[in-house]
Chain A
Amino acid sequence: MSDNRESLKLRKIRFVYKGAEQEGTLIHENSGLLTIKLKSGYNIVAEKGAVEIKEESLEEAPQARSSKDTFIGSGPGKVTIVATGGTISSRVDYSTGAVTPSNDISFLKSTVTDLERRFTVELESRDNILSENMTPEKWVNIVRWVKEGLKKSHGVIVSHGTDTMSYTASAVSFMLEKQSGPVIFVGSQRSPDRPSSDAFTNIEAAIHFASAEIGDVGISMHSGNSDNKISLLRATRSRKMHSSRRDAFHSIGEEPMAFYSDGSVVINRLSKRPDDETVINDRLDSSVGLMYFHPSLSPEDLMNYSENKKAVILMGTGLGHAADRLIGPIREMTREGKQIVMTTQCISGTTNLNVYSTGRKLLDAGVLEMGNVVPEIAYVKAMYVLANYDFNDFGKIMKTNLRGELLTREEL
């Protein structure tokens, strides 16, 4: 982010509106409407024609207390934060009411206990992408930055918007053939301009997770509605399950890998140890589709959608079913060499195409059943497998557990 605060001037005005003369700050003018900040702090919006400006002067805006330091602390726990989007911190300018995203990480000093003694945190501002604008090409960039980060730090934190964080995190997980330390994705459901933002505790926990002996890619977000417990979820089992709650991220079918509370990390289930080095396969083939089966889905829709795609992940009903009318077209497509992969739109639980006759017909038509792999993760994995393995091995690799995405057993 460029910092142009030095040149910021406030437009102080004395104006008459509704017959009363008062002072204020003209914030902006937009399609005939003026937004004026009154001395009381309130903004009012008024039609330009209704406001008579009597006097105007420019005044220096108060200087923000902002630090451009990209390093904090001098402790042994070396952590690199790769900022890709989603705001780490925000600045609120009360003189104009403007909220600007900022990469000022100095707030960590006051929010992370003993930060300066225990950790050395380095910030690398790489990109600023809204979650919904993420693409597989950007995932490749991210895994390269992660690799660089792991060269100099024990662990890497990737800040990311939450909406597509599970896709990116699992893509990074697949592309990391070997990883010398933890890679922790972190986001927030409440923006950091708010005192109640979950960003602070999520990042605090991420710093601790990124210093632990974990050789996996995880997501550091709230366990519940409280700020007192943060979960580390395996990227390849994670899913955003709520549009707004702090505890939106769930680990599907397995418990979180670790928790953070009261200043320490508790490992909940054994995860992979870090490797000696970091190796990436930074190739993805994005000719993969993801489609939700629905009761009126026509063979034409399915065929049209699948054109130009090497693999299509279907989110079937229940144990992995689709209507009889689709079986013929599916058989046709698999004969032409397309991969039709079946997952369940129930999200939780596994596919099983042997239980009902429809399932058996789908298997016969060449459908590849994905078990309990989360649909979106199967979609990301297909891109990785297509780009890095022999096409003939697609089915075999898809059914092999690579990064914890496939559970062979689910506990009650």
Chain B
Amino acid sequence: MASGEKGKAPKESKVMIGLEIHFQLKGKKLFCDCSTESYGVQKTSFERILSPTASEMGFYDPAAEYEKTRDRKFRYVSTDNSCLVEADEEPPHSPNEDAIATGMMVAGSLNCRPLDSVMFMRKVVVDGSNTSGFQRTAVVGFDGKMETSRGPVRISSVCVEEDSARKIEQDRKVEEDVLYSLDRLGIPLLEIVTEPDILDAEHAVEVAKSIGFIVASTGRSRRQVDSIRQDVNISLGFGRVEIKGIQKLSLIGKSISHEIERQRNMRDAMEILKKRGGMKRPIMFSEAGKYFEKTESKMLKNAFRNRLSIYASVGSNLDGLLKNDQFRVGKDLSDIAKAFGLGGILHTDELPAFGITGKEVEMAREELSPGDEDAIIFVIADKSKAGKLSDAFTSRIKKLSSLDFSETRGPLEDGSTKFLRPLPGKDRMYPETDVPIVQIGSDARQRISEFVPRSEEEIAKDLSEEFSISLQDARTIASNFLLDDFRDLTETTKDGKLSARIMLQTIPEMEKKHKASFETGELNRLLKISTEMGWSRNTLENAMEVMLTRKLDAKQSAKEVQEASLSEGDLMVLVKEIADASGKEIKPGTLIAMLKQKTKKSFDPKEAIEILEKLK
């Protein structure tokens, strides 16, 4: 695919969208006796090397080869909910049959053909996210179909698999230093894959939601921050792009629209490049440190101090394409540089900037004797990385100019995406011989066939009745997949209405107002204190605000608020004083105003009025 001239250049076609949705299940992990939930305790850490070549069969896997060029070691930290199995120090135990049954229920509801025996496979993954170097996965049902408002969407398969380890940090400077926590590794995951029958962003959200309700109806789904992850496969004629790991439903739509726009702009940029005669010189970074010896740029001075240098290359015919109102080829290359552990790139479409002067750029530029439509690309790196990057950039531009945009991308908060890695080749799988084949017995089959998923409206109605909350609130909770969160919250507050308000109003409004977010654990502790102390909603909300704005923990926030608020007894004394002086027929508004004159401490107006009523 190196040259776009010989073959027919790809043309934009109908957009094809497919989803891969992952739901975590709660309870026990898939292959050991560890809980899916962690108390957040980190234990010991260890370091591993994965050898992608170990199981090669002469098949070239671009993703695996790509990981290899980056030459990484992986560090892991064990947690209270991980054992020797997650550390790859003990063979897997028999699979969690509850998880398999849940998978079969979901498969059945999606009209899949259920399998009678479930056989786990090892899917080779060498990015470090699995200590073993593979992910254990089994198909439980295939060839299904779901009805949507815009026609049927086919379901390719429903699989039960183990979740990967969670990346907790990646040090930019030391690219091999990726730290993974084992808390998430091995959590049962349902993977539901659709055929590319989805019509647009809106349709994708509808499909994801409907599948979500089926899974939620099993009552086995885990609802934590990253418990649902969606991969979107999208193609508009320039190869398949996989956007991996979208966590919020609301981001699916945005990501799809962004991606379509990005691909169209990239195509336009590449067509201009082609008209100019294509890439005439490969990217070849050479040291350019000498032109920046007297630089005032902090970024560069810092780099020199760290024994890095600045390297420069001609970007053949790329002038104006790296960055302008429409084109962002520079960002694309920058993503690649970042994947190699560098900070990104600098280029002549945006320089002078960052303390680098036009004169410095000009000196470096002259040395390379570029053509009129050439750009200059700079990178701060060491020699070996600059060399690797020359090759990586050259093949990147070749690939893009052949209008082959296929790759794996990662979602960003604003709906845009960034390059993650090449698309993996066909999954390389072989049987997991350490795990016996699970036969689905007639009892299990019976139980599975009895499962009936509930619709969004049914779930909302039940919720409204069970917790005496408004149907409106119940609908919001159901459609945002907050069901289990809501149950957990109500377990703490013992008050459905209060939970609904806190969840749907207080938290989002406060977070928006103060541009900060609550730490879930601490907030829960605060709610517990509130329930135990019998606080009014007012006091609780005051405490929450204190917690959020002053970054205090639960105990401190509670103390602050208690010190700053009137006790019930004190409030009663004050109300009585006012009533004695001004008469019991005083208007509530006046009472509150007079109370506020008498005390600087906070109180719940409702409570004050109730006291007044009682006095009558």
Show the binding face of A for B, using Cβ within 8 Å. 17-20, 22, 33, 35, 38, 40-47, 50, 62-66, 89-95, 97-99, 107, 110-111, 189-190, 192-197, 200-201, 224-228, 244-246
- Closest A residue to B142 using CB positions: A20
Q: 5 smallest A-B Cβ distances: which pairs?
A: A195-B133, A65-B58, A18-B113, A41-B429, A225-B46
- The answer to whether residues A42 and B430 also contact, given A64-B57, A65-B58 and a CB cut-off of 8 A, is no
Determine which of B56, B113, B119 lies in contact with A20 in the assembled complex, contact meaning CB atoms within 8 Å.
B113
- Mark B448-478 against chain A: 1 for CB-CB distance below 8 A, else 0: 0000000000000000000000000000000
Q: Judging by beta carbons under 8 Å apart, are A42 and B121 in contact?
A: yes
Q: How far is the CA of A19 from the CA of B117 in the complex (A)?
A: 17
16 A–B pairs (Cβ distance < 8 Å), ordered by A: A18-B114, A19-B113, A20-B142, A41-B123, A42-B137, A45-B116, A46-B115, A65-B57, A66-B58, A92-B430, A94-B57, A111-B53, A195-B52, A200-B51, A224-B46, A226-B47
Q: Which chain B residues lie closer than 8 Å to A20 at the CB level?
A: 113, 142-143
Q: Which chain B residues lie closer than 8 Å to A90 at the CB level?
A: 54-55
Q: Judging by beta carbons under 8 Å apart, are B117 and A46 in contact?
A: yes
- Closest B residue to A111 using CB positions: B51
Q: How far is the CA of A10 from the CA of B211 in the complex (A)?
A: 37
**Beyond known contacts A18-B143, A195-B51: 16 more, CB 8 A cutoff:** A40-B139, A44-B115, A62-B58, A63-B58, A91-B57, A94-B428, A94-B430, A98-B430, A111-B51, A194-B54, A195-B126, A195-B134, A197-B51, A224-B46, A226-B47, A244-B90
Q: Judging by beta carbons under 8 Å apart, are B119 and A200 in contact?
A: no
Segment at the interface with A among B81-89, B497-505, B527-535: B81-89
Taking the closest CB of chain B, its distance from the CB of A259, in whole angstroms, is 15
Determine which of B49, B57, B87, B116 lies in contact with A92 in the assembled complex, contact meaning CB atoms within 8 Å.
B57
- The answer to whether residues A99 and B89 also contact, given A62-B58, A107-B53 and a CB cut-off of 8 A, is no
Q: How far is the CA of A90 from the CA of B430 in the complex (A)?
A: 13
Q: Judging by beta carbons under 8 Å apart, are B48 and A196 in contact?
A: yes
Tell me the B117-150 residues at the A interface (CB within 8 Å): 117, 119, 121-124, 126, 131-134, 137-139, 142-143
Taking the closest CB of chain A, its distance from the CB of B133, in whole angstroms, is 3
Q: Which chain B residues lie closer than 8 Å to A226 at the CB level?
A: 46-48
Q: Judging by beta carbons under 8 Å apart, are A46 and B116 in contact?
A: yes
Q: How far is the CA of A22 from the CA of B428 in the complex (A)?
A: 20
Q: Judging by beta carbons under 8 Å apart, are B124 and A195 in contact?
A: yes
Q: Judging by beta carbons under 8 Å apart, are B431 and A43 in contact?
A: yes
Q: Judging by beta carbons under 8 Å apart, are A41 and B50 in contact?
A: no
Does B427 touch A at the CB level, under 8 Å? yes
Q: How far is the CA of A201 from the CA of B53 in the complex (A)?
A: 14
Determine which of A18, A193, A244 lies in contact with B55 in the assembled complex, contact meaning CB atoms within 8 Å.
A193
Tell me the B412-460 residues at the A interface (CB within 8 Å): 426-431, 433, 437
Q: Judging by beta carbons under 8 Å apart, are B157 and A244 in contact?
A: no
Q: How far is the CA of A38 from the CA of B426 in the complex (A)?
A: 12
Determine which of A40, A63, A225 lies in contact with B427 in the assembled complex, contact meaning CB atoms within 8 Å.
A40
Taking the closest CB of chain B, its distance from the CB of A231, in whole angstroms, is 15
Does B371 touch A at the CB level, under 8 Å? no
Q: Which chain A residues lie closer than 8 Å to B430 at the CB level?
A: 92-94, 97-99, 193
- Closest B residue to A89 using CB positions: B54
Taking the closest CB of chain A, its distance from the CB of B63, in whole angstroms, is 13
Taking the closest CB of chain A, its distance from the CB of B178, in whole angstroms, is 14
Residue among B57, B133, B142, B427 having the largest count of chain A Cβ atoms under 10 Å: B57
Q: Which chain B residues lie closer than 8 Å to A192 at the CB level?
A: 54
Q: Which chain B residues lie closer than 8 Å to A197 at the CB level?
A: 51, 54
Does B39 touch A at the CB level, under 8 Å? no
- Closest A residue to B139 using CB positions: A42
- Closest A residue to B91 using CB positions: A244
Q: Which chain B residues lie closer than 8 Å to A224 at the CB level?
A: 46
Q: Which chain A residues lie closer than 8 Å to B90 at the CB level?
A: 244-245
Taking the closest CB of chain B, its distance from the CB of A187, in whole angstroms, is 15
Q: Judging by beta carbons under 8 Å apart, are A41 and B121 in contact?
A: yes
- The answer to whether residues A195 and B58 also contact, given A43-B119, A94-B428, A225-B87 and a CB cut-off of 8 A, is no
Tell me the B545-572 residues at the A interface (CB within 8 Å): none
Tell me the B350-378 residues at the A interface (CB within 8 Å): none
Q: Which chain B residues lie closer than 8 Å to A64 at the CB level?
A: 57-58
Q: How far is the CA of A192 from the CA of B437 in the complex (A)?
A: 23
Q: Which chain A residues lie closer than 8 Å to B115 at the CB level?
A: 44-46
- The answer to whether residues A196 and B131 also contact, given A42-B138, A43-B431 and a CB cut-off of 8 A, is yes
Q: How far is the CA of A46 from the CA of B84 in the complex (A)?
A: 33
- The answer to whether residues A196 and B88 also contact, given A41-B427, A63-B58, A91-B57 and a CB cut-off of 8 A, is yes
Q: How far is the CA of A192 from the CA of B54 in the complex (A)?
A: 7
Q: How far is the CA of A91 from the CA of B55 in the complex (A)?
A: 6
Q: How far is the CA of A76 from the CA of B116 in the complex (A)?
A: 58
Taking the closest CB of chain B, its distance from the CB of A2, in whole angstroms, is 18
Taking the closest CB of chain A, its distance from the CB of B438, in whole angstroms, is 10
Determine which of B49, B87, B427 lies in contact with A201 in the assembled complex, contact meaning CB atoms within 8 Å.
B49
Determine which of B57, B124, B131 lies in contact with A93 in the assembled complex, contact meaning CB atoms within 8 Å.
B57
Taking the closest CB of chain B, its distance from the CB of A59, in whole angstroms, is 16
- Closest B residue to A19 using CB positions: B113
Residue among B47, B89, B138, B139 having the largest count of chain A Cβ atoms under 10 Å: B89
Q: Which chain B residues lie closer than 8 Å to A227 at the CB level?
A: 47-49, 73
Q: Judging by beta carbons under 8 Å apart, are B50 and A195 in contact?
A: yes
- Mark B56-97 against chain A: 1 for CB-CB distance below 8 A, else 0: 111100000000000001000000000010011111000000
- The answer to whether residues A194 and B84 also contact, given A41-B123, A45-B119 and a CB cut-off of 8 A, is no
Determine which of B56, B89, B124, B134 lies in contact with A244 in the assembled complex, contact meaning CB atoms within 8 Å.
B89
Q: How far is the CA of A65 from the CA of B53 in the complex (A)?
A: 11
Q: Judging by beta carbons under 8 Å apart, are B119 and A107 in contact?
A: no
- Closest B residue to A90 using CB positions: B55
